[in-house]
Structure 1
Amino acid sequence: MDLILWRHAEAEPGRDGLPDLERALTPKGIKQAKRMGQWLDSQLPESTRILVSPAVRTVQTAEGLGRKYKTNAELVPGAEPEAILQAANWPGGKETVVIVGHQPTLGQVAALLLTGQALDWEMKKAAAWWFVQREADDPGSLYLKAVMSADLVVK
């Protein structure tokens, strides 16, 4: 199974009275989402399942991919790493899954997959980390296929 963790692009800062889930992408963030979305679209199989936090900034990031997606309430800011893996059906799923979500959870998921502990690893805004586990029942078949940031994608 392939699992791609995609952190939302640059969002506007929080303001008094603005709920966190309503923060939108900045103009820079919109460009980041489009760049990373184009790269991912060129790499992903057509059957990829895309799950997105209901936050405005993650939905806008996913729209940069230009594919159908589903919002999932389990992917909100502050979600537990295990909830992210469960939503993705990791590692037992058959299709490739993209999770568009938040820090620190996505960094914790990456650390959990690679070390067995949900450590606070930093994931750059708009970055994607691509994991593959060849055999669902063999954690030793897990590897990190790619780490890509939006500023490395050729325009």
Structure 2
Amino acid sequence: MRELILLRHAHAESPAPGQDDRARALSSTGLAEAKAAGDWLREHGLTPDRALYSPAARTRQTLEALGDVGCTDLREEAAIYDASPGTLIALADAHGDARRLLLVGHNPGLEQLAALLHSGQTSDYRGMPPAGVAVLGFAPDAAIEPGAAQLSRFWWP
């Protein structure tokens, strides 16, 4: 079984006037949420082989605040920021050598991706809260495509 772990960034500070959205930092609530997400990942033995995160400060800080989840292959991936589900699928496919891949990103792309991979639809699904985690499992040789995944776990702080 291959797994794709989707982690939405934790709560961020509201943007300051004129601030670039990518520069928004986590709030104190967000830091606590990300730590709790890391605790949950460790508790369930969900050690990623590789973690990809968007270039936004809040995704990098979410990943850092997880603490040690046993992953040393951390890569910033520009395509995650403001990505569509199709872009995220292509990115996951490009990292098919990782048995367990963690994507740290943003809504609506992550929640749409979870719904699309699980049910084959995106329009009726919403609900990936900040620091929410969705774990999707695929058969070893299955393509990452709509409806091909089993949603094995879903958690949020």
**Alpha-carbon deviation of 1:94?**
4.5
2:4 is paired with a residue whose SS is strand
Q: Which residue of 1 aligns with 2:46?
A: 44
**Alpha-carbon deviation of 1:93?**
4.1
| Gap change, CA 1:141 and 1:106, over 3 Å in 2 | closer
RMSD: 2.2
Q: Which moved more, 1:47-56 or 1:114-123?
A: 114-123
Of 64, 69, 80 in structure 1, the residue corresponding to residue 84 of structure 2 is: 80
1:102 partnered with 2:102: no
Identity %: 36
What letter is aligned with 1:25? L
What letter is aligned with 1:143? Q
Query: Structure 2: 5+ residue runs without aligned partners?
Result: none
1:145 partnered with 2:147: no
Tell me the TM-score normalized by structure 2.
0.84
1:133 partnered with 2:135: no
Query: Structure 1: 5+ residue runs without aligned partners?
Result: 151-155
Separation in 2, partners of 1:145, 1:90 = 22
1:58 partnered with 2:59: yes
Tell me the TM-score normalized by structure 1.
0.85
Separation in 2, partners of 1:51, 1:92 = 13
- The answer as to whether partners of 2:49 and 2:98 remain within 8 angstroms in 1 is no
What count of residue pairs does the alignment treat as equivalent?
148
1:2 partnered with 2:3: yes
Q: Which residue of 1 aligns with 2:76?
A: 71
1:122 is paired with a residue whose SS is coil
**Alpha-carbon deviation of 1:92?**
4.6
